[in-house]
Structure 1
Amino acid sequence: MSTEPTPAMDFLGMSGKTFLVMGVANKKSVAFAIAKQIEQAGGEVIYAVRSEARRDSLSKLLADRRLIVCDVEQQEDIEAMAAELQRDNVTLAGVVHSIAFADYSDGIRPFHETTRRQFLQAIDISAFSLVAVCNAIKDQLANDASVVTIGISTTRMASESYGFMAPIKAALESSLAFLTKSFSRFSQVRFNAVAAGLLKTSASAGIPGYVDSYLYAEKVIPRGEAVSTNEVASTAAFLLSSRSSGITAQSIVVDAGMSINYFDADVVGAVTNASVD
């Protein structure tokens, strides 16, 4: 990945600044797309990955980059990452939290059959980890740092293909306001989310039924084309930059207009004609 800022990306003012990006799994990851844009704008990226195995698998993709292993289920890992950043006197201009996990090993089941273990593990990894990480690294954040997490375009639609994750993402989204408020007592750190529409990533491909929902989304989106990972990454890069300094405690929806077009005549016609048949 090039670290030379292009004229267009200088607009973001990231040159010479350091960012922590959490959640890269492979080259299709949203986190990786965001990191590329940061580096193209001249920023330095420190990568936090889940395990030693993940670090090894990314050794070629992220050659010559700094990688820290941090399993957010383990508080000692979070504290060790914070200690390493403090030891090296790192000041972070921004943090990307692109971490989510839900156990669908038994397939997608009705929401009321979600187990306590599944729900609590998902909320620990996908939502509480943002709070835990930000608390641990608060002294390494610049006074005007920007924290960006990845949400979903709506937490109010009961999409069966997303299992029990929408309530988890709702908790993540709600935490933005509370983090902004509590951090405002000693800083101007901002907390926002990119609320992404359906994406074609390796993680989403593993969710039962997700591919069909993705194909449906392409039919509903006015332009007839799903949201790309780079479109989500571009919004995240903007939120990480000082250009978005007036935006905090918000979820910016990036769904290419899907939410305004559920009653598209062609889609409605296809459903009603099928029911008649």
Structure 2
Amino acid sequence: MAAHPFSLEGKTGIVTGLANADSIAYGCAKAMHEAGAEMIVTYGSPKAEKHITPLGPDMGNPQLMLCDVQDESQVEALFAQARERWGKLDFLIHSMAFATRDDLHGRVVDCSREGFGMAMDVSCHSFMRLARQAEPLMKEGGTLITMSYYGAEKVVENYNLMGPVKAALEASVRYMADELGPAGIRVHAISPGPIRTRAASGIKDFENLAQTAEQRSPLRRLVSIEDVGRTAVFLTSEAGHSLTGGTTYVDAGDHVKA
């Protein structure tokens, strides 16, 4: 019997950016596991260990690895482990972003050179670095996914510095899709609506942003980390094999409103 087109049985991959039970990375890892995938899940700081260890069973008890994407040795160790364990990769999910509080809460025109550089490095360029490491392991094609937000396309109050950074990330997805497509590697951005994660709480007046989205979205609700995870499964599965280079909105339709 042919495999179901949404099945990830036999697929192996990496999910990055797990911090706690509210993380989009957690929603993705759970959904990938439920679809049959095996994975390594990474976290960026030793402080996260006590929050993520209890989450293991819901993700199929994946191998958890510390991986600060600004530490090249940790990135190399991650892919060395994937190479030793499976000899291949089918997917990689990049779910991380960072900006210093001062730069995030201030005007874009006032952001520091150092803060802008760090935000771009962690939130955008790290996706390219991970993709470069993943490419040799995706011998039979694969899927690369990163997380964006509507503030990359339109001005969203208080999103500030992350708007230009996510715009660069979405442009990178398009160029990477074109470069890697001949090897059968598909590249996607998922753009979730506001989700009440710990990371989102760093955005000034985030609760007002969330309430506005809930009231104005066509479905009159917010989305969940599980919604994002199921979208990642679709894009990774055979069902999504003809899609690449785009941004998929998972926001209850909020992006269609002016």
Q: Do both share a fold (TM > 0.5)?
A: yes
Segments of structure 2 that go 5 or more residues without pairing to the other structure are: none
The 3-state SS of whatever aligns with 1:158 is coil
2 CA distance for matches of 1:33 and 1:252?
Answer: 16
The 3-state SS of whatever aligns with 1:162 is coil
Q: Which amino acid aligns with 2:72?
A: Q
Query: Match of 2:255?
Result: 259
Give a deviation string over 1:51-109, Cα, whole Å, max 9, x none: 33323432222254201211111222212222222233432111111111111147611
Aligned sequence identity (%) = 28
Query: Match of 1:31?
Result: 25
Q: 1:237 aligns with which of 208, 233, 240?
A: 233
* TM-score (ref. length: structure 2): 0.91
Q: Which amino acid aligns with 1:12?
A: F
Asked if 2 retains the 8 angstrom alpha-carbon contact of 1:55 and 1:67, the reply is: no
Question: How many residues are paired up?
Answer: 253
Query: Match of 1:52?
Result: 46
1:106/1:137 CA distance change after superposition, 3 Å: closer
Asked if 2 retains the 8 angstrom alpha-carbon contact of 1:154 and 1:195, the reply is: no
The 3-state SS of whatever aligns with 1:101 is coil
Q: Does 1:68 align with 2:62?
A: no
Asked if 1 retains the 8 angstrom alpha-carbon contact of 2:82 and 2:89, the reply is: no
Asked if 2 retains the 8 angstrom alpha-carbon contact of 1:108 and 1:161, the reply is: yes
1:109/1:70 CA distance change after superposition, 3 Å: same
2 CA distance for matches of 1:32 and 1:24?
Answer: 6
Q: Does 1:175 align with 2:179?
A: no
1:84/1:203 CA distance change after superposition, 3 Å: same
Q: Does 1:191 align with 2:192?
A: no
Query: Match of 2:156?
Result: 159
Query: Match of 1:123?
Result: 120
Q: 2:34 aligns with which of 40, 60, 76?
A: 40
1 CA distance for matches of 2:184 and 2:154?
Answer: 33
1 CA distance for matches of 2:216 and 2:235?
Answer: 27
1:89/1:15 CA distance change after superposition, 3 Å: closer
Q: 2:75 aligns with which of 73, 78, 82?
A: 78
Asked if 1 retains the 8 angstrom alpha-carbon contact of 2:26 and 2:225, the reply is: no
Query: Match of 1:143?
Result: 140
1 CA distance for matches of 2:104 and 2:176?
Answer: 34
Segments of structure 1 that go 5 or more residues without pairing to the other structure are: 1-8, 263-277
The 3-state SS of whatever aligns with 2:204 is coil
1:107/1:35 CA distance change after superposition, 3 Å: closer
* TM-score (ref. length: structure 1): 0.85
The 3-state SS of whatever aligns with 2:203 is coil
1 CA distance for matches of 2:250 and 2:112?
Answer: 31
1 CA distance for matches of 2:176 and 2:243?
Answer: 14
Q: Whose radius of gyration is greater, 1 or 2?
A: 1
Shift of 1:180: 2.0
Shift of 1:19: 1.8
Which of structures 1 and 2 has the larger relative contact order (alpha carbons within 8 angstroms, sep 6+)? 2
Shift of 1:11: 4.1
2 CA distance for matches of 1:152 and 1:98?
Answer: 12
Query: Match of 2:201?
Result: 205
Give the superposed CA RMSD.
1.9
